A and B are shown apart, each in its own frame.
Chain A
Amino acid sequence: MSRDYFDPIFNGTETVWKHPCGLLYTDGVRCFAQDHAAYWTLDVVASYLPRLKKYEFLVVYFDVDENKCQFHVREDSDLPNVVVQEIPFTDLDVSVKFYLIDGMLMFPSDY
């Protein structure tokens, strides 16, 4: 079953933002984190950076079902998960898919 992923459609970024843990991210990701009180999603991705830095391109998912969320990361959408973490409770109201390219997190529309 295909899932609808939120994307604010910024189509690129004017500023490259940096999370305290070293993760880079775009204006669109920042806007999403602010508007949805979802900076925790950046914390989750950033916490895995040491493990993920060997990959040039990754697809990062936060799949929300009711109040649960599954964070998982793949090299491509049809490849197995590189990382999985279950988040037992969230009030995030959308699922999101990011690309993580050379340490920079972005929405597909930013790419």
Chain B
Amino acid sequence: MKPCRYIDPLDYSRFYDSRKTIIIGFSEPETRRNNNESFRTMGLDVLDIYRNQTLLLPQFFKLPCFIRLIDYATYLRLEDGFQWYIKTAESSDLIPTVVYPGYERVSLLDNQAIINPANIHPTLLQGLMSHIRNVGRLE
């Protein structure tokens, strides 16, 4: 997916730059609020699919971004979509999705684009978080 700028599907006055857009999907309101705030503070464009899940969940795989963070409940709702996504997208075009909370017992599709934090080394996860913070500093 080439970098692009696009209009918010719900608010035509809002634009996103895919290079610094993070898509978040947290079903719990408190977690949504916290993540929205913390990623905006980092300078990222945050597209929260629970702002209007009826409209935005079906578009989840079409909305350009550099990374997606979702919870397990959201993953389960999107699992069929993930199956389709990993079969139809070029592997070099796949956008990583991190699924929280990352616990060993959680079963996710086995693909490079679907990350369970419990299965990666802590320093790799720290590097991923640093990368996300650095992207927020892009002009």
Which listed residue (A20, A43, A49) contacts B69, Cβ 8 A? A20
Contact B38 A20 (CB under 8 A): yes
Query: Chain A, interface size: which category?
Result: 10 to 19
How many positions in chain B have a CB within 8 Å of any CB in the partner chain?
22
**What does the 1/0 interface line of B106-118 toward A look like (CB < 8 Å)?**
0000000000011
**What does the 1/0 interface line of A26-65 toward B look like (CB < 8 Å)?**
0000000000000110011011111101000000000000
Contact A20 B122 (CB under 8 A): no
Cα–Cα, bound, A9→B103 (Å): 33
- Closest residue of A by beta carbon distance from B41: A34
Interface check A85, CB cutoff 8 A? yes
* Set of chain A residues within 8 Å of B34, measured between Cβ atoms: 17-19
Contact B100 A22 (CB under 8 A): yes
* Set of chain B residues within 8 Å of A40, measured between Cβ atoms: 126, 129-130, 133
Given contacts A18-B30, A85-B123, contact A50 B104 (CB under 8 A): yes
Contact A21 B125 (CB under 8 A): yes
Given contacts A17-B34, A20-B69, contact A47 B126 (CB under 8 A): yes
- Closest residue of B by beta carbon distance from A48: B122
Cα–Cα, bound, A47→B133 (Å): 15
Contact A21 B102 (CB under 8 A): yes
Q: Tell me the B60-102 residues at the A interface (CB within 8 Å).
A: 69, 98, 100-102
Which listed residue (A17, A18, A21, A39) contacts B117, Cβ 8 A? A21
Interface check B31, CB cutoff 8 A? yes
Contact A47 B104 (CB under 8 A): no
Contact A47 B101 (CB under 8 A): no
Interface check B35, CB cutoff 8 A? yes
Given contacts A20-B35, A21-B102, A50-B117, contact A39 B133 (CB under 8 A): yes
Contact B101 A22 (CB under 8 A): yes
9 smallest A-B Cβ distances: which pairs? A47-B122, A50-B118, A47-B125, A43-B129, A22-B101, A18-B34, A47-B126, A48-B122, A43-B126
